[in-house]
């Protein structure tokens, strides 16, 4: 993603003080190809020599989420992972439980299902969270076979070294 993307994210944030640290958070996040935690983003910024407080990273990510400019999922440990949302769209992702890679999926079916369930129950303004996880093709050969012949990652923690760096 580009500097233009970071500028679009900055314009979406509520009016307030746009410090160089917040701009730096937006630039680094805009370069992330996959979901990233606040702590990972902070570590990547620190490794690149960008001085910014972890609180600033968390606050910026929460504001992006609140204004609809970041998609958020949770990893297996419950940690929130963020990815910039470029347009005013709601997306769903399929995430690898092993390496953390993600890819967007066609969400029309999910959206229609959520609308139908809400309407059938007499609800309006229904919001939803859907998290799809699996083991990607790249990680599947490295996974030990489970008893039922399926890959199981519950016993293997996510490999942080496999997560793509966003600070480049």
Please tell me whether 150 is known to bind a ligand.
no
pLDDT tens, residue by residue, 88-123: 666 788 888 888 787 877 778 888 888 999 999 999
pLDDT at residue 15 in the model: 61
Candidate from 51-55, 71-75, 154-158, 164-168 with smallest mean pLDDT: 154-158
**Mean of pLDDT over the chain:** 77
Please state the pTM of the whole predicted model: 0.63
Please tell me whether 128 is known to bind a ligand.
yes
Q: Strand, helix or coil at 158?
A: coil
Please tell me whether 108 is known to bind a ligand.
no
Give yes or no for residue 29 having a pLDDT over 60. yes
- Sorted by where each begins, the domain ranges of the chain are 3-162
Q: Give the rounded percent of residues in the chain with a pLDDT score beyond 90.
A: 26
pLDDT at residue 1 in the model: 43
pLDDT at residue 53 in the model: 95
Q: What is the DSSP letter of 34?
A: S
Give yes or no for residue 162 having a pLDDT over 80. no
Give yes or no for residue 164 having a pLDDT over 70. no
Give yes or no for residue 159 having a pLDDT over 60. no
- Buried b / exposed e over 42-78, threshold 16 CB at 10 Å, is bbbbeeeebebeeebbbebbebbeeeebbbbbebeee
Please tell me whether 67 is known to bind a ligand.
no
The C-alpha atoms of residue 54 and residue 57 are separated, in whole angstroms, by 5
pLDDT tens, residue by residue, 124-152: 888 877 778 889 898 888 666 554 444 33
How would CATH label the architecture of 3-162?
A: Orthogonal Bundle (1.10)
Structure tokens at 168: 């480049």
Q: Give the rounded percent of residues in the chain with a pLDDT score beyond 70.
A: 71
């Amino acid at each position: 993603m580009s500097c233009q993307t970071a500028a679009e994210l900055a314009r979406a944030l509520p009016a307030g003080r746009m410090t160089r640290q917040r701009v730096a958070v937006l630039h680094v996040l805009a370069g992330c190809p996959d979901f990233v935690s606040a702590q990972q983003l902070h570590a990547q910024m620190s490794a690149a020599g960008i001085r910014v407080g972890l609180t600033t990273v968390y606050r910026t990510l929460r504001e992006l989420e609140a204004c609809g400019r970041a998609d958020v999922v949770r990893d297996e440990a419950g940690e929130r992972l963020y990815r910039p949302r470029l347009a005013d769209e709601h997306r769903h992702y399929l995430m690898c439980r092993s390496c953390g890679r993600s890819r967007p999926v066609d969400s029309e079916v999910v959206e229609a299902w959520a609308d139908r369930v809400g309407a059938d129950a007499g609800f309006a303004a229904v919001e939803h969270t859907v998290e799809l996880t699996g083991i990607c093709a790249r990680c599947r050969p490295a996974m030990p076979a489970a008893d039922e012949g399926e890959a199981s990652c519950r016993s293997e923690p996510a490999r942080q070294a496999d997560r793509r760096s966003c600070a480049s």
